[in-house]
Amino acid sequence: METQKKLRIIIREPRSRHGGAPIVANPKEMEDIPPDTYPPEWDVPNAYPPYWDFSNERMYNLYMKAKKEQWDEDSLDWKSFGEYLANKTERERAAVAFWFSMLANFDNATGAFARAVIAAHEWHFDAGTVGVFTTIVMDENRHCIMCGKAAFCALKNFPFRKPQSPYEEKARKYAWWVWWNGHRYWNAIKEAFEKYPLPAVFTSFMMGEAAATTVFSGASRGAKHETMRSLFKFTAMDEARHFAFTQFLFEDNQHAFNEDIKKLVTKQIRAGFEFLSLITYKPLRTTKFWKLPRDFEKYYEEVDAIMQDVIGIPPLEFREEAWRKAVMRVGNILSRFGIEMPAIPELGIEGGKIELAEEDIELAPPVF
């Protein structure tokens, strides 16, 4: 309990301190309020008063950039992509539908960022930070919808319809297993918003964004269809902007990172790698996070090979190197603030030894 008290620190001064006088305490009726008085002051967290702070120039510039870079997933040529997949085998279409359903597990982040928008308002963050959070809500919603459209191009209404082949049955089963794990993370992230400062909640997001930018850029270059080329290109653009945001958010609030928070960040980085590795790397045998059937890894390898052949996603070696570079990139940022990087032996990276328990899933927000 003592650790939680230290972690739940206030990182913003209340903006309801108007400094006016005299103040009327606990007014109940209009008759209780004399003229030439001020209302009582109130405490955070509260979304009021509206607060305009434009002093964080780089964050506000990122907000303006985010508005200019918005794109429409419905403008992509889904009809042509559906026709392309119609010429593929049942096995291949089932694999594509599964892969995009798996990606949706990480893109189903609209709710997480909607909660972040509320928290940013309640704690009166600057206008740029609040603004970028709101644009990421839109980004994540768009990413999740594009996953559904891609999956439906392969198998209409997958994975909600009755399976029509053994291949679809297998893909459907594993998609629901991935989503079952996703629901566990959602329950945890709701608790995380109550326990940790907002910037600390999204630290594990930083490394995933750095890796995703490279992986999706590679997927765009290798795409076998123009719709996928555009989809991955625009997604990589969003991820690059999200990475900049997580870095700015971290640096802007370094004053709130006491020793307990610094240890939490080290743990978060490891948690983020384990959580996101399923989509941008490969299933990890070392993780305690994912609870999946014993034969999932074999099926994953089968899907991965099909996705490389049919869609053009990068091979494992490319994704592994992307993660390695992401770790080094984030490590350089954290080292400036005296925060230790965790060891990631899967990538041959040394660092602090971190043991993650099942309950540590709250450290890896389900966002991408």
pLDDT exceeds 50 at position 367: no
- Check residue 2 and give its pLDDT: 42
On whether the CB atoms of residues 215 and 280 are closer than 8 A, the answer is yes
The DSSP bridge partners found for residue 352 are 342
Specify whether the CB–CB gap between 246 and 211 falls below 8 A.
no
Question: Which residue would you say has higher pLDDT here, 45 or 366?
Answer: 45
How crowded is residue 215: how many other Cβ atoms within 10 Å of its Cβ?
Answer: 26
Residues 161-173, mean pLDDT to the nearest whole number = 97
Q: Which residues are paired to 342 by β-bridges?
A: 352
- Per cent of the chain over pLDDT 70 is 92
The mean predicted confidence, pLDDT, of the chain is 88
CA separation, residue 356 to residues 178, 264, 271, 335 (Å):
20, 11, 7, 22
Cα–chain center distance at 220: 20
Domain range summary for the chain, segments of one domain joined by +: 76-363
pLDDT tens for each residue of 128-149: 999 999 999 999 999 999 999 9
Identify the pLDDT of residue 4: 44
Structure tokens belonging to residue 257: 């990172």
pLDDT tier for residue 60 given thresholds of 50, 70 and 90: very high
Please tell me the distance from the alpha carbon of residue 251 to that of residue 270, in angstroms, as a whole number: 19
Give the single-character DSSP code of 361: G
pLDDT tens, residue by residue, 324-335:
888 888 888 888
Burial class (CB in 10 A: 0-12, 13-18, 19+), 285: exposed
| pTM for the model | 0.90
- The secondary element (H helix, E strand) that includes residue 246 is helix 226-252
Asked if the model's pLDDT at residue 7 lies above 60, the reply is no
Architecture of domain 76-363: Orthogonal Bundle (1.10)
Considering only residues 188 and 87, tell me which one the structure prediction assigns the higher pLDDT.
87
